[in-house]
Each structure stands twice: as structure tokens, then as C-alpha cells.
């Protein structure tokens, strides 16, 4: 215990800390992008700074967790980047508390207006409370599009089988015959997660022939303009209940979807681009097939007591979201101009294209498929398939329509997704209620929650006769 030694040690460590903390003194803009593409944006930003000596700021590119970023912003946005990346559905939550700034730069607004599909333009705007105006302001600049699609194991599933859930089931049942060790543990398809986003493909399914559904979720961004009690939704739900029992679908277990793919407990998975790496790691790159979320045919049992004809072909739907750059409300006002310039550059078509080529981020702008087709020969075939599947899925999907904090809250935090999940899990041990009446009751409740939150849902009186209901109430 020599004091001198300790003192020397402390001094050395102190010096080490200050070395680690060394940095430039020029003003700095920190740019938060997804973990998977941080190297790409680091490179792009460096090029930008080299070409724009008058930009006036250093830019620090930081990797962030897109899933938790909104939470971090709400907790303390001064500890977050100046420009951050969020999924569009978080915009309302942050904008309405002034945690992010409206975009006003004309060049940027013009670019957003010109490049993006209408569906995106709709959901990146928000009104601002206490502003004395009901005008909507643009808060985010989309630069990556995200939708669910199918990744399957080519070893066991043929390209044709991957087109339909029936095909996936067929492949699974065939494998059960040959792989006697695993028997009942083989399933056609699993999901990448158990949350409302990941199983949205069932609830949001559409009629394949005309891409129609009676389901309405905050249409026109109006909270009361929601509907999920249509006969098609009922039939799809009945189909999902079956699918999770007959070997077609399986929930991801605690080993994770990737391990399930590896052990061929599941032959396919419905997931997003951010799950691709894990799937590749599980079954090898050459075995990964990419496709649209399959179609399925409603059986006579599924459509019983509804007006939907049997053998109607449905296509799994998806939430087709976009990731946006937004400006942190706590960012220094002097940086505002520069930040918007940087965003304009980073979300330009050219950079989006480059980002696709180098970091596999699927572009968000309208007509990006043309570019992808044009470089088809230059790129990895999987990257091409992935982009194609995703952008086609976007046509069958809707962006999560949560442009206000309230809608987001009502959809996610009030238990709606839970309700649906528990409806389609029919626990064999507890002999869950799988009658059509139960389905209608849950859908009725869910619609109520979408519209009004859940504070009074306990006292909700479910009417004797529900829309489209021909059966009598079972008590």
C-alpha cells in the first residue's frame, strides 16, 4: 500500500481518460443512424464534408438502436444526436411534445415532396399543439423503406411452395415424414417476433385478386375511422387460428427464429431486412430464398358463418414503414440550417441508391425499383430479391398510420396487439375458446381500443348481436 504507487496509477489513468476523450473543438453535429449502416454513412458524410468545406461543422456518426431511440428521446433528448433516425410512426409522439423540430428548408421540403410516395408524405406530417395553427408540418425525411417479407430455406421449400402458406405447410409435412427425429416440431413458417408489428401480416391480409380489405386503421388519420369487424377479417383470423395448429405457422420460441431456421423447426420466416443477416448465418447464404409474404386460401371452415366465399385467396399484408431523418428539438438553433442541408443530401435519391448498393438499405423514394432493376446484374442476387420482395410488399401494405401520439398509444400501449395475439394462439392445454363468437367479440373489443384506448374497456358491454354475426351469443 504505497501511496506513491497509487498516485502514479491514478495520474496515469487520468491521462488515459483525457486521451480517450480527446476531440476537435469545432462545432459538431452528431448524426444517429441504424447500427447496420453506420459505416456507410460515416463514409458518405466524410465525402460530403470534403466537398463542402464551408459546411462549418464536424459530423460525428453514431450507431443507434432504432427500436429504442424514441424512448431515449423522450427520456432526455439532450443526450441524443442532433439528427436522428426514427421509424415514421414515432414522429407524432415526439413532434407533439416539441422533442423534434419541423423541417422548413425549401430545398429539403421540395425534395421530400417530389421523391416520396403519397403514403409516406401523409405520415411524416404532424400538427403541432399550442402553435395557433392547425397546419401540418413536415418532421421527417424518409430514406429507408421497411416492410415484412418472406425468407425461406431453399433446401426444403421450392420456389412455388414459397408462394403460398399451403405450400409451406406441404413442405413442412413432407419433411416430417423423412425427418422422424423431429416429427411434430417442423413447421412451415415462423415470425421474427411476437409483437404487433411482426404478426401484422395476418390482421392486415388482403384479398389477392383486388388487393382489398374491409379493415380500416385510422384511415384519414382519424381515430374513429377504424374498423376490424369485417367478415374477411373474421375469416382471416379463423385461418390464423388454424395455421398455428396445423403446422403452417409457429411462434418463434425462446431460441429465436434464426435457430429455428437452422434446426429446420421452421422452414421460413416472415421478417424484415434487419433479420436477413441472422437468417443467412443460420442456413447459409445460398440456401436463403426471398419472396413476398405468401398467399393463403380460406377454407370452408374458415369462412363458415360469414359472407366470404370459400376458396377466396388472401395475401398476407404488412406495415410498410419508412425510416426518417429528423432534427432533435434540443439541437442548437444555430445548427438548424446546416442540419437541414445535411439531411437533404443524405436522403437524396443518389445517396439512397448508394446506401442500397453498399449497405442493403432499401430506398424509400417512389420508383426506386427502377434503379434496383437497372443494377440487377451488378448486385448480389439476394440483395436484389430482398429489395424486390420488399418494395412489392409495400404495395400490399400500409404505413403504420400513427401520426399522433394518441394513435400510437392507442394502438400499441393499450393491449390491442396482445388481444389479437392471444386470440390466434389457441392454447391446446387450456382449450381456448375458438368459436366464431369469441373471434367477433375480441375484434369488437380491439376496434374499441383502437378508437378509445383501454381505460373503460372493462366496462365495455359487448352487444348480443355483433356486425355480421348470425350466431347467437354463447355464454
Partner 1 sequence: MIKQKKKYASQSKREAASLAGSYIVLTILALVWIIPILWIVLSAFRGDVGIVSPDFIPKTFGIENFKRLFTGTYYGVKYAFLKWMLNTLIVAVLDCVISTFLILSVAYCMSKLRFKLRKAFMNLTMIIGLFPGFMSMIAIYFLLKAVGLAGNTSSDTAWLNIVGLILAYSAGAGMGYQIAKGFFDVIPTSLVESAKLDGCTNFKIFWKIILPLSKPIIIYTALMSFTGPWMDFIFAKVIIGTGSPEMWTVSVGLYSIMFGKQADASMFTQFAAGCVIVGIPIVSLFMALQNYYVEGVTAGAVKG
Partner 2 sequence: MSDSSPQEVKIKDSSIFVRIGKGFANFFTKSIPNFFTKTLPGFFVNLGRGIKNGCVRLVKRFVEGSIGTKLSHLIFGAGNLYRGQIIKGLIYLLLQGGLIALFVGCPEVTGPNNVKVPIGYKALINLALKGHEAQFNPSDPANPIPASSSQLMLLFGLVTIGLIILYVIIWNSAINSAVAADVDVKEGRKPSTFKQDLQALIDGKFHVLMISPTLMAAIIFTLLPTIFMICIAFTSYNDLDMSAIPTALFHWTGFSNFGSIFTGEGSLGKEIHARFFPVLGWTVIWAIFATFTCYFGGIILALLINKKGLKGKKAYRTMFVLTIAIPQFISLLAIRFLLSAEGPVNSALKAWGWIDQSISFLGLATSGNNVLLAKVMIILINMWIGVPYTMLMTSGILMNIPSDLYEAARVDGTSKIKMFFKITMPYIFFITTPYLISSFIGNINSFNTIFLLSGGGPTVTDAIGNAYRAGETDLLVTWLYKLTIDNGDYNTGAVIGILTFLFTSTITLITYRHSKAYKEEDTFQ
Residues binding partner 2 (CB under 8 A): 71, 74-78, 93, 96-99, 101-102, 104, 128-133, 135, 137, 181-185, 194, 251-256, 259-260, 262-263, 265, 329-330, 333, 336, 404-406, 408-410, 413, 415, 418-419, 422-423, 425, 427-429, 442, 445, 453-455, 457-458
Strand 100-101 and strand 141-146: pairing? Answer: unpaired
CA dihedral 108→109→114→115, nearest 10 degrees, is: 60
CA distance 50 to 24: 16
148 or 261, CB closer to partner 2? 261
What b-and-e string marks burial along 153-170, b requiring 16 or more CB atoms within 10 Å of the CB?
Answer: bbebbeeebbebbbbbbb
Whole-number minimum distance, CB 140 to partner 2, in Å? Answer: 14
Binding flag, residue 107, partner 1 (CB under 8 A)? no
Identified binder of partner 1 from the candidate list 45, 81, 103, 139, rule CB under 8 A: 81
Nearer to partner 2, 6 or 15 (CB): 6
Nearest to 138 by CA among 352, 335, 326, 321: 326
- For residue 309 the three cell numbers come to 366465399
Query: Distances in Å between the alpha carbon of 228 and those of 43, 50, 347, 445, 449?
Result: 46, 53, 35, 10, 11
Spatial separation of the C-alpha atoms in residues 54 and 50, rounded to whole Å: 10
Interface of this chain with partner 1, residues 241 to 280, rule: CB under 8 A = 255-259, 262-263, 274, 277-278, 280
Instruction: Answer with the entry of partner 1, partner 2, none that 35 interacts with (C-beta below 5 to 8 A by kind).
Output: partner 1
Confirm if 62 and 31 have CB atoms less than 8 A apart.
yes
* Beta-ladder partners of 60: 30
Distance CA 63, CA 181 (A): 43
3-class SS of residue 144: strand
Q: Could you say whether residue 35 binds partner 1 (CB under 8 A)?
A: yes
Q: Is 74 a binder of partner 1 (CB under 8 A)?
A: no
We find the least distance from the C-beta atom of residue 38 to partner 1, in angstroms, to be 4
Q: Binding partner of residue 64 among partner 2, partner 1, none, CB under 5 to 8 Å per kind?
A: partner 1
Closer residue to partner 1, CB minimum distance, 72 or 155: 72
Residues from 159 through 198 that contact partner 1 (CB under 8 A): none
Does 23 contact partner 1 by CB under 8 A?
Answer: yes
30 forms part of the interface with partner 1 (CB under 8 A) = yes
Nearest distance from residue 470's CB to partner 2, in Å?
Answer: 23
- By C-beta, is 251 or 345 nearer to partner 2? 251
The burial class, CB within 10 Å (0-12 / 13-18 / 19+), for 121 is middle
Contacted entry of partner 1, partner 2, none for residue 66, CB cut-off 5 to 8 Å set by kind: partner 1
User: Of 32 and 402, which has the nearer Cβ to partner 1?
Assistant: 32
Calpha distance 445→422 (Å, rounded): 13
The C-alpha cell that represents 79 in the structure block:
443526450
Residue placing its CB nearer to partner 1 in the complex, 22 or 53: 22
Local structure of 270: helix, strand or coil: strand
The whole-angstrom separation of Cα 465 and Cα 462 is 8
Q: How far is the CB of 82 from partner 1 (least distance, A)?
A: 9
Residue among 304, 298, 310, 271 at smallest CA distance from 164: 298
Nearest distance in Å: CB 28, partner 2: 16
Picked from partner 1, partner 2, none, the partner binding residue 453 (CB below 5 to 8 A depending on kind) is: partner 2
Question: Is residue 11 within the footprint of partner 1 (CB under 8 A)?
Answer: no
Q: What is the DSSP letter of 432?
A: -
The nearer residue to partner 2, 49 or 74, going by C-beta atoms, is: 74
Shortest distance, CB of residue 258 to partner 2, whole angstroms? 10
User: Is residue 417 at the binding interface for partner 1, with CB under 8 A as the rule?
Assistant: no
Count of CB atoms situated within 10 Å of the CB of 417: 21
> From the list 75, 107, 114, 462, which residue makes contact with partner 1 (rule: CB under 8 A)?
75
- Cα dist from 91 to 74, 95, 156, 436, whole Å: 12, 6, 42, 37
The distance between the two most distant Cα atoms of the chain, rounded to a whole number of Å, is 88
Question: Which does residue 220 touch among partner 1, partner 2, none (CB within 5 to 8 A, set by kind)?
Answer: none
Interacting residues toward partner 1 by CB under 8 A: 1, 6, 9-10, 13, 16-18, 20-25, 28, 30, 32, 34-36, 38-39, 42, 60-69, 72, 75-76, 78-81, 255-259, 262-263, 274, 277-278, 280-282
Amino acid at each position: 500500500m504505497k501511496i506513491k504507487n497509487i498516485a502514479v496509477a491514478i495520474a496515469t489513468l487520468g491521462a488515459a481518460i483525457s486521451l480517450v476523450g480527446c476531440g476537435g473543438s469545432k462545432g459538431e453535429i452528431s448524426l444517429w443512424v441504424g447500427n447496420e449502416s453506420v459505416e456507410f454513412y460515416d463514409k458518405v458524410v466524410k465525402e460530403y464534408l470534403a466537398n463542402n468545406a464551408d459546411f462549418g461543422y464536424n459530423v460525428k456518426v453514431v450507431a443507434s438502436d432504432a427500436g429504442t431511440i424514441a424512448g431515449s428521446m423522450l427520456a432526455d433528448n439532450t443526450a441524443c444526436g442532433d439528427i436522428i433516425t426514427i421509424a415514421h410512426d414515432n414522429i407524432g409522439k415526439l413532434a407533439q411534445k416539441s422533442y423534434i423540430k419541423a423541417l422548413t428548408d425549401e430545398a429539403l421540403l421540395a425534395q421530400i415532396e417530389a421523391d416520396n410516395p403519397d403514403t409516406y408524405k401523409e405520415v411524416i406530417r404532424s400538427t403541432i399543439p399550442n402553435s395557433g395553427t392547425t397546419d401540418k408540418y413536415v418532421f421527417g425525411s424518409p430514406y429507408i423503406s421497411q416492410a415484412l417479407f418472406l425468407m425461406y430455406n431453399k433446401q426444403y421449400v421450392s420456389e412455388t411452395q414459397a408462394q403460398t402458406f399451403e405450400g409451406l405447410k406441404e413442405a413442412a409435412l413432407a419433411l416430417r415424414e423423412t425427418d422422424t427425429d423431429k416429427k411434430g416440431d417442423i413447421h412451415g413458417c415462423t415470425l421474427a417476433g411476437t409483437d404487433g408489428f411482426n404478426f401484422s401480416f395476418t390482421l392486415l391480409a388482403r384479398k389477392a385478386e383486388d388487393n382489398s380489405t374491409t379493415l380500416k386503421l385510422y384511415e384519414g388519420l382519424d381515430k374513429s375511422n377504424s374498423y376490424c369487424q369485417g367478415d374477411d377479417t373474421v375469416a382471416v383470423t379463423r385461418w390464423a387460428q388454424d395455421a398455428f395448429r396445423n403446422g403452417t405457422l409457429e411462434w418463434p420460441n425462446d431460441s429465436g427464429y434464426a435457430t429455428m431456421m437452422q434446426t429446420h423447426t421452421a422452414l421460413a420466416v416472415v421478417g424484415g431486412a434487419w433479420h436477413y443477416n441472422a437468417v443467412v448465418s443460420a442456413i447459409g447464404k445460398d440456401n436463403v430464398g426471398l419472396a413476398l409474404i405468401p398467399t393463403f386460401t380460406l377454407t370452408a371452415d374458415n369462412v363458415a358463418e360469414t359472407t366470404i366465399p370459400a376458396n377466396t385467396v388472401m395475401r398476407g399484408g404488412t406495415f410498410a414503414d419508412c425510416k426518417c431523418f429528423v432534427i432533435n428539438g434540443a439541437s442548437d438553433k444555430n445548427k438548424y440550417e446546416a442540419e437541414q442541408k445535411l439531411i437533404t443530401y443524405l436522403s437524396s435519391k443518389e445517396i439512397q441508391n448508394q446506401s442500397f448498393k453498399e449497405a442493403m438499405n432499401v430506398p424509400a423514394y417512389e420508383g426506386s425499383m427502377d434503379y434496383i432493376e437497372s443494377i440487377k446484374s451488378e448486385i448480389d442476387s439476394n440483395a436484389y430479391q430482398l429489395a424486390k420482395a420488399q418494395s412489392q410488399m409495400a404495395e400490399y401494405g400500409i404505413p403504420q398510420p400513427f401520426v399522433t401520439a394518441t394513435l400510437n398509444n392507442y394502438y400499441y400501449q393499450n393491449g390491442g396487439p396482445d388481444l389479437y395475439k392471444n386470440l390466434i394462439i389457441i392454447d391446446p392445454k387450456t382449450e381456448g375458446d375458438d368459436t366464431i363468437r369469441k373471434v367477433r367479440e375480441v375484434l369488437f373489443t380491439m376496434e374499441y381500443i383502437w378508437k378509445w384506448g383501454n381505460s373503460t374497456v372493462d366496462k365495455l358491454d359487448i352487444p348480443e348481436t355483433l356486425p355480421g354475426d348470425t350466431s347467437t351469443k354463447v355464454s
